Chains A and B, each alone.
Chain A
Amino acid sequence: MHFFINQVRKCGCRLLKIGRNPPLYRNYSIPKAGVNSIGSVDQSNENIQLPKVLEHPDYFEVAKLFTISDLFNARVHLGHREGSLDERMKPYIFGSRLGHLIIDLDKTSELLTAALNFTAHVAYRDGIILFISQNPQNSFMVEKLAKEVSEFAHTRYWRLGMLTNSTMMFGAMTRLPDLIIALNTLTTVLDEHLAIKEAAKMGIPVVGIVDTNCNPNLITYPIPGNDDTPVAVNLYCSLFKAAILKGKQKRKEHQKYLADTEPTISS
């Protein structure tokens, strides 16, 4: 499991480097709605290939969903007081003003793009996405988001073992979520959400908003940003919603295309 998490994290780091350097663009043609442009027929003429979704650096075009000024207007850059800084958040901090830490939005922007891209890919592959947060002020917003994108939410008290002991907790064998999105990784100002550790144990990737007082180490895709202000949380919600809906939309299109071309596969 640790190997898995390290691998995924390494991938995230590599993404960062590539984000700074000119990206590795190759001549990908993003398929248009037309049937002919979707996929190509391989040499054996038996299997119909879908567009190479995985090879494209930003297939779902999540980078276009937001700008840095959007983040700034939603007060994503506002961190906590200096004294509450978690040392592990230092790389993502721009500086401090009047005793309050300011988060570096350039870094947030890169990491957020990577996280949204991953989320859209998971949604494209029909992964189960679970939103967690234990901030009472924002929990209704999070549940509403989950309902709108027909995914799942858990904003209540986390009973220990919901993931690690799921067969007992749900009374039967249960499919666990494939991605956990934590809109707040803390339960109180000091305690980490129990789901984060459980997800790490079960090898479930976690996308998490980490404020300056959070520990980003167990989060697969950390997004440094303000996790308290409702305006900021609303922005994250709308971004995740857009990314998930894009993934699901593409899935539907490709499924329809496959269904239409099914007879040619069997022949």
Chain B
Amino acid sequence: MFLKKAVSCSPSWTHLDKIAVYAVRSFSSGVTESATDAKTPAHASVFKKQSKVMKAYVERSKAHNEFMKKEEQAYNIGKRHLANMMGEDPETFTQKDVDEAIEYLFPSGIFDKRGRPSMKPPQEVFPPRKDAQFDETGRPFHFLFYTGKSNFYDILHETVARLYELNSMEDALVKSRKAIKPTEFDLSGSRWLSKSELETLMVETLTGYEYRNYVKALERLVAHSLSYTQKEFIMKQRKVLLDVTKSYVVAEPQEGPDGRLYVTTHECPRKSARATVTVIKPGTGKIEINKQGIDFFSTIQARNQVPT
């Protein structure tokens, strides 16, 4: 309406008006409040927009929430039934109890655990969805939205930004004639996030080519002589591998009442038997088992095994 008015006011309108009028018309695909509405003020078409996109999103999210609510109710009823079947209190019946009950009631010979029957809360069964990525005019939040993989490409963008930052730091150091001592920080004990880990983190699916590019870009950042300043960012892209080796601590000898050193080890296993063993130094060569000598064991084989 505003536009029509502007045009009719000036009979000799210029080419630029025409361009802009076309431009405005092309935006109107995303505008539900059409400019033909006589009641809206003249400038509403320029400044107040409600987008079809947002409307569609609100509808979708409403449908999804309703579905999840229904699933949640079904899960709770199922849980109560299970508790009653198992003869337990439905109020204190936990997810662990549910898993055990299912395992008991539906025994399965399937090797793969994911193939066996299960009953999980709907939040775990249905994957999380991305929230609305745009505001009420339909304008996306993320500046790389139109790539379709905004989170992934954002990391690549940040990597390059940091690399340029390091380059300028290095230039400043060279200018000030300070010697750069190459400090490498230790990357051992950690590895890059795997493709699937990265995908779950980004909530985006990646191709092998894209994942290789990601690793290459990060390795380039690591290879920089000042990369230790970006340790925090780099370690976010890596997974620390924990050591699982058991520590073996040698017991300290203690002094007995008679001045001799001794070491006592409890819970020494032999099949289902458990023994407590005390070794004394300096010893006398005597072996005592349950207040008897080595002949406590009747077989030769057992007697041979005792000192080893």
Which residues of A line the B interface, CB within 8 A? 4, 7-8, 11-12, 14-15, 18, 24, 26, 42, 47-50, 52-57, 117-118, 121-122, 125-128, 130, 140, 143-144, 146-147, 150-154, 156, 159, 162, 169-170, 172-179, 203-205, 251, 254-255, 258, 265
Contact = CB atoms under 8 A, between A and B. Distances in A.
A117 B160 contact: no
Nearest to A49: B42
Interface in B122-149: 134, 137-140, 143-148
Interface of B: 2-3, 5-6, 9-10, 12-24, 26-27, 29-30, 41-43, 46-47, 49, 51-53, 56-57, 60, 134, 137-140, 143-148, 153, 157, 160-161, 164
Given A52-B9, A128-B139, A24 B22 contact: no
Nearest to A56: B16
B304 to A, nearest CB: 72
A255 B3 CA distance: 17
A156 B143 contact: no
Given A8-B22, A54-B6, A172-B56, A152 B140 contact: yes
B153 A156 contact: yes
B23 A121 contact: yes
Contacts of B46: 50, 125
A125 B56 contact: no
A254 B20 CA distance: 17
A175 B43 contact: no
A154 B16 contact: no
Contacts of A251: 47
B19 A174 contact: no
B9 to A, nearest CB: 7
A162 B145 CA distance: 11
Contact of B56 (A18, A122, A159, A173): A173
A150 B143 CA distance: 7
B19 A118 contact: yes
Nearest to B132: A172
A162 B140 CA distance: 15
Given A125-B24, A175-B30, A153 B9 contact: no
A50 B10 contact: no
A143 B142 CA distance: 12
Nearest to B150: A152
A149 to B, nearest CB: 9
Nearest to A265: B41
A154 B14 CA distance: 34
Interface centre among A57, A147, A175, A205 (most CB of B within 10 A): A175
Interface centre among A11, A15, A178, A205 (most CB of B within 10 A): A11
B16 A57 contact: yes
Contact of A258 (B47, B157, B164): B47
B3 A4 contact: no
B22 A4 contact: yes
Given A126-B139, A152-B146, A7 B27 contact: no
A175 B53 contact: yes
Contact of B161 (A26, A126, A140): A140
A121 B10 contact: no
Contacts of A130: 146
Given A52-B6, A175-B51, A203-B26, A140 B160 contact: yes
Interface centre among B9, B22, B143 (most CB of A within 10 A): B143
A189 B170 CA distance: 34
A263 to B, nearest CB: 12
Contact of B144 (A14, A48, A154, A258): A154
Contact of A178 (B3, B12, B26, B157): B26
Contact of A177 (B3, B56, B146): B146
